[in-house]
Structure formats: structure tokens, C-alpha cells
Amino acid sequence: MNPDLAFLIEVIVGGLLSGVMYALVAIGFVLIYKTSGVLNFAQGAMVLFAALTFVSLLERGLPFAGALAATLAVMVVLGLAIERAVLRPLVNQPPITLFMATLGVSYVIEGAAQLAWGTQVHGLDLGIDDTPFEIGGVLVSRFDLFAAGIAGLMVAGLTAFFRYTRTGLAFRAVADDPFAALNTGLRLPRIWSAVWIAAGLVALVAGLLWGARLGVQFSLSLVVLKALPVLVLGGFDSIAGAILAGLIVGAVEKLSEVYLGPFIGGGIEGWIAYVAALAFLLVRPSGLLGLRSVERV
């Protein structure tokens, strides 16, 4: 294979694998937004809390499976607590009120994590070496491939859940029309509780993968910022859109850093996705696969 072509493919593949990780964080936003219309800015803090709880339990002697089960239980309780103590009392409040509530919750979660586990940086080893191996002349990171596989399984599981289970169909009904769903007998508080639990599960998986890549530290909560251009591009209410936009953002970042970075300075990878999202927002505010709002006048 031509060396230049092989290098281009490596860059694209690396970007796509990173994009799957971005999409995983964005899905946590989509789950909450689809069913309640809330932009959950606390998702980044939930990712941090999950990773910090897991690695701290490991360091205190729990086996991997035990620490994973305990962290899952903690995230279930955390999701239920946020929904019942904060979001449920604010039902029917303006969107900006709900957004500010989740922003406040994010700081509370970070403070609780600091009190419970301290502020030191932790390394997280999932047993997968971040070393490249060759596929058809193209070098691919083992860890990136593993992370993309886990994220892909999570996405496939959520897709099957929404499409084939009664609870998943209830989620979709609430997302389409909460008042009609309420009139058919669906219990909205139960649905909202379930979707916050699902968001906690997504935060756990994202926290383990991002923690293994970046280290478990408080800056891990800023991974939420990586999801924002993905949400703008894909649509705030579309899981498929989050996946597609995550792949696009990942590829655009890597290609821009490699091929444009030398001409306009380094660091382009950190902000080019926001430029692309802003430009796309002007053309299609609902995103690639988001639902366009229709108002009768």
C-alpha cells in the first residue's frame, strides 16, 4: 500500500475510533433530553464520579467484578437521587431553570467525589495495552479498538432496548409526546427514573474508558465539552445522530490536526469541532437526524 494512503487511513481510523468515545458521552445527554427535554450538564460530573468510585474501590482491595458491581449500584442510586430530589420538583419549569439545576448538580457531584475519594490523580488499567498493531498495512491502537468495541456494544444494546422492549417503547412514546403518553396510562415519573438510571450506566462505561485513556482526575468531567459539538451536529434527540456525529467529529479533528495544524498552528484539534458545529448550526439547527420543531400559527 502507498505510504501516504496508509497514513491517511490511519488518521481517519484513529479519528473514527475517538469519535465513538465522543458519541458514548453524547448518548448520555440524548437519553435525558429525549424523555424530559433537559440538557443534563451534570453528565460530565457523573462520568467523573463513576470512574473515581471504581478506581478508588479497586485501590481499596475489591476485585474488578466487585468494584464494577458496586460502582454500578452507586450510579443507579445517584441517577435516582438526581431525578427525584432535583428534577422531579422542577417539572414544567422553563428549560433554563432545568439547565441551571443540572449545572448546580454537577458541582455538587464533584464536591461529593472530592469528599469521598480525595483529589489525587489515579491511573486506571483495564488490562488492554495502548499499543498499535497492523491491519493490512495500517496501524491501529489496541485500546482505541477495544474502547470502540465496548461503546459499539453499548450503543447496540440501547438501540435494541428502545426498539424491542416495553420500557424502551415507553421511552419513545414519552419522547414523542409526553402528554399523549400520560393519557395512555404511562407513568412518567417511573419512566424518568428509569432513563436517569440508564444515563448513570452510560456514565459508568464512559468513565471507565475515558479514565483509562486520560487518567482519573477531576478534569475528566470536562469530557462533557467534547459531547457538545456532537450533539449540535447529530441532534439533541437522536441516538443515531449522536453516533454519526461522533464519527464525523472524531475524523474531522484528526484530519485537521494532521493536515491543517502545520499551517495554522497546533492545537486545532481542540477547537475545530466547535467551528464545524457552529457553521452547521446556522444551516440546520435541528442537527443531522434531530427532529425539526413544527409550530402552528
Amino acid 178: pLDDT: 64
Confidence (pLDDT) at 293: 55
Residue 289 inside a domain? The answer is no
Structural domain including 80 reads: 3-283
pLDDT at 75: 94
Rounded to an integer, what distance in angstroms lies between the CA atom of residue 24 and that of residue 255? 21
Domain count, the chain: 1
Q: Is the Cβ–Cβ distance between 12 and 255 less than 8 Å?
A: yes
Which residues are within 8 A (CB) of 219 and not within 5 positions of it... i.e. 6 or more apart? none
Residue 290 lies in a domain: no
Q: Give a yes or no: residue 297 inside a domain.
A: no
- CATH code, 20: 1.10.3470
pLDDT given at position 1? 61
Please check whether residue 296 lies inside any domain of the structure: no
Domain-embedded: residue 294: no
Predicted local distance difference test score (pLDDT) of residue 182: 65
Q: How far is CA 145 from CA 13, 37, 224, 283, in A?
A: 10, 33, 21, 33
Q: Is residue 291 part of a domain?
A: no
Per-residue 3-state assignment (H helix, E strand, C coil) for the chain: CCHHHHHHHHHHHHHHHHHHHHHHHHHHHHHHHHHHCCCCCCHHHHHHHHHHHHHHHHHCCCCHHHHHHHHHHHHHHHHHHHHHHHHHHHCCCCHHHHHHHHHHHHHHHHHHHHHHHCCCCECCCCCCCCCEEEECCEEEEHHHHHHHHHHHHHHHHHHHHHHHCHHHHHHHHHHHCHHHHHHCCCCHHHHHHHHHHHHHHHHHHHHHHHHHHHCECHHHHHHHHHHHHHHHHHCCCCHHHHHHHHHHHHHHHHHHHHHCHHHHCCCHHHCHHHHHHHHHHHHCCCCCCCCCCCCCC
Q: 41 near 102, Cβ under 8 Å?
A: yes
The tens-digit pLDDT sequence of the chain (297 residues) is: 677 788 888 888 888 888 888 888 888 888 888 777 788 888 889 999 999 999 999 999 899 999 999 999 999 999 999 988 888 888 778 888 888 999 999 999 999 998 988 888 888 888 887 778 777 777 788 888 888 888 888 878 877 877 787 777 777 676 666 666 666 666 777 787 888 888 899 999 999 988 888 888 888 888 888 888 999 898 888 888 888 899 999 899 888 888 888 887 777 888 888 988 888 888 888 888 766 654 444
* Residue 147: Cβ within 10 Å count: 26
- Give the global pTM: 0.86
